[in-house]
Amino acid sequence: MQLFFFDESANISKEYTNGEITVVWKPTTCIHSEKFWRGLPGAFKPKNKSWIQVEGASSEELIAQIYKCPSGALSWYRNDDGKAAVETSQDVKIEVFPNGPVRVHGDVEITHSNGSVEKRAKITALCRCGHSANKPYCDGTHKKIEWRE
């Protein structure tokens, strides 16, 4: 089952549930990492219109793969617990990927050029190539244009 709602920052989120857990996907945060979706091909099928197919894996497999999401675009919650807060850490870790984004792990507050403030939790992927259509966030364009640092 797929549900749609708007989050606090007006970005569309999509939810997919198998009855036990709900997978939440934020498309504007997603960097469309091939390495990620290949990790659980029964549940993540990028060529399909509804690319997340929760019936294609167990809840435990889905949860384990979601924790590997490189952009933080995917999260989950148990349906019997309601929408639980995303687990976050006080530590901030920054990774610079060769020919790719800068990935920030932890809670961050981003002040945009227009003055709006956005809070992000878990993982944030920032654009380094300058060609993202979703700046300051990475949208995977660096791969399409074969950007090199």
- CATH number for domain 2-81, candidates 1.20.1250.20, 1.10.579.10, 3.40.30.10, 3.30.70.20: 3.30.70.20
Tens of pLDDT, residues 128-146: 999 999 899 999 999 999 9
pLDDT, residue 82, reads 63
pLDDT, residue 68, reads 87
Domain residue ranges of the chain, discontinuous segments joined by + = 2-81, 93-144
pLDDT, residue 31, reads 83
pLDDT, residue 56, reads 94
Q: Which stretches of the chain score pLDDT less than 70?
A: 1-11, 82-90
DSSP assignment string, the chain: -EEEEE-TTS-EEEEEE-SSEEEEE-TTT----HHHHTTSTTTB-TTSSS-B-GGGS-HHHHHHHHTT-SSS-EEEEEGGG-SPPPP--S--EEEE-TTS-EEEES-EEEE-TTS-EEEE-SEEEE-SSS--TTTTB--SHHHHTT---
